Amino acid sequence: YHRHVPLHVGLGSLVGIYMVTCGCPTLDWLRPMVRYHLPFAGEDETLYRAMGMYLVAQHLVQKQGGTPDWEMKGLQKIYDNVMEVNKYFLERLQNTPVKDATLNAIITLDCFAMNVSFTLEGEPLSDMRKMFSMYLK
């Protein structure tokens, strides 16, 4: 898999994997996405994968006798917390000799987190309803 993209986009994929697998308890919630990582994913792909990951997790919660969060309120909280981590991570990196591409990569990841969080505040599945019309009959 290859693609010609700006450096910060390629770094974003690598930095995202590293951050999620580094042992941070806030980012650990996104670990299942690493297994099925999609390099150079855009906002739509990231949103779809995040919601899909979370809904699979809720299915497993239900299978174990727990109460699933089908409204995805927990996913909203996860991404709000991810944005906090990104904010503080960027603040720390701005005082180091890190290159612009790395900072831009983290800013891009934060934009994806903001997009997921913002979408979940509304009706997250409304735009996808047409794609799933065969299931809704």
Three-state SS annotation for the chain: CCCCCCHHHHHHHHHHHHHHHCCCCCHHHHHHHHHCCCCCCCHHHHHHHHHHHHHHHHHHHHHCCCCCCCCCHHHHHHHHHHHHHHHHHHHHHCCCCCCHHHHHHHHHHHHHHHHHHHHHHCCCCHHHHHHHHHHCC
Binned at pLDDT 50, 70 and 90, residue 4 comes out as: confident
Percent of the chain at pLDDT above 90?
41
Which of 29-33, 39-43, 82-86, 98-102 has the weakest average pLDDT?
Answer: 98-102
Task: Please report which confidence band the pLDDT of residue 12 belongs to, taking 50, 70 and 90 as the band edges.
Answer: confident
Summarize the confidence of residues 42-69 as an average pLDDT. 94
Q: What integer best gives the mean pLDDT of the chain?
A: 88
Examine the pLDDT at 6 and tell me if it is beyond 90: no
- Residue 128: predicted pLDDT: 79
Mean pLDDT of 79-102: 85
